[in-house]
Amino acid sequence: MLKILVPIKKVVDYNVQVRPTPDNKGVDTANVKMGINPFDEIALEEAVRIKERTSDTTVISVSIGKNTVQDILRSSLAFGADRSIMVETELDLGPLQIAKILVKIAKLEQPDLILMGKQAIDDDCNQTGQMLAGILGWPQATFISEIDVNEKKVLLKREVDAGVEQLETVLPCVATVDLRLNNPRFISLPNIIKAKKKEIKIIDVKELGLDLSRKTEITKIYEPKQREKGEIIENVEQLIDRLRKSGVLNK
């Protein structure tokens, strides 16, 4: 039996232009469309694909946050996950705190593979997967663009600056996924209806007995300065002239 754990995060939809809150301490999410982090959706899609081609496979989705994350867990169940876990908390958690919680869930569920997005598009930290693997003491592969699970062996590919890197590891392991891994499916109406009958296990974060105090503090969130309007240069001579006038070239 193969068990795959897929952590997912609720974020502001990537098509929405985010705005800072009036106190510049966070992002305004009031009345804003939200959904599953796109990288996590790719991880979920791949987990379901593995399940479809590998018999006796279970996919479990997990999310951490307020009670409002139940909607993305329902979506994950409609996607094809067999069951879901919600770790309920009002705390504002960083990558390390999330990794600590996922370690507890991993010890409870004993998955063979943890498949997750390489980063969340709200903070772009790209740290949780690496921290999770480090605390568990499991092998890890990051930014994967291809994965093949064959019994206890896992074959992976990841894009690097020099080309494509091929990796081989063993289960259990942690893998974080990149955009090129797949294109997530559309959820059908029958699957949405079926998802309402599937299990969402709710765990109060206090039950896990963890120190979740943050070591970092967000001091200010603000919009980037607008760039100056670009200019089309017709030829090399014009380019050199502009560079000289700007002071980049001295001669």
- pLDDT, tens digit, for every residue of 205-234? 999 989 888 878 788 888 888 888 888 888
- Summarize the confidence of residues 169-196 as an average pLDDT: 90
pTM, rounded to two decimals: 0.83
Q: pLDDT category, 251, cuts 50, 70, 90? A: low
Where is pLDDT greater, at 5 or 198? 5
Q: Name the residue ranges covered by the structural domains of the chain.
A: 2-246
Contacts of 240 (CB under 8 A, 6+ apart): 249
pLDDT (0 to 100) of residue 75: 92
| Residue 176 reports pLDDT greater than 90 | yes
Record: fold of 2-246: Rossmann fold (3.40.50)
pLDDT digits (tens, 9 = 90+) for 127-153: 999 999 999 999 999 999 999 998 889
- Summarize the confidence of residues 110-135 as an average pLDDT: 92
pLDDT (0 to 100) of residue 218: 80
Give the mean pLDDT of the chain.
Answer: 89
pLDDT above 70 coverage of the chain, percent: 100
pLDDT digits (tens, 9 = 90+) for 3-36: 999 999 998 888 887 788 888 877 777 778 888 9
pLDDT above 90 coverage of the chain, percent: 51
pLDDT (0 to 100) of residue 84: 95
pLDDT (0 to 100) of residue 97: 92
Q: What is the DSSP string of 177-246?
A: E-GGG--PPPPPHHHHHHHTTS-EEEEEGGGG------S-------PPPPPPPP----SHHHHHHHHHHH
Question: In what side-by-side order are the strands of the sheet with 173-177?
Answer: 163-170, 153-160, 140-150, 173-177, 113-117, 2-7, 57-65, 83-88, 200-204
State yes or no: cis peptide before 172, omega within 30 of 0.
Answer: yes
pLDDT digits (tens, 9 = 90+) for 34-77: 889 999 999 999 999 999 988 889 999 999 999 889 999 999 99
Residues 175, 193 contacting (CB under 8 angstroms): no
Amino acid at 125: C
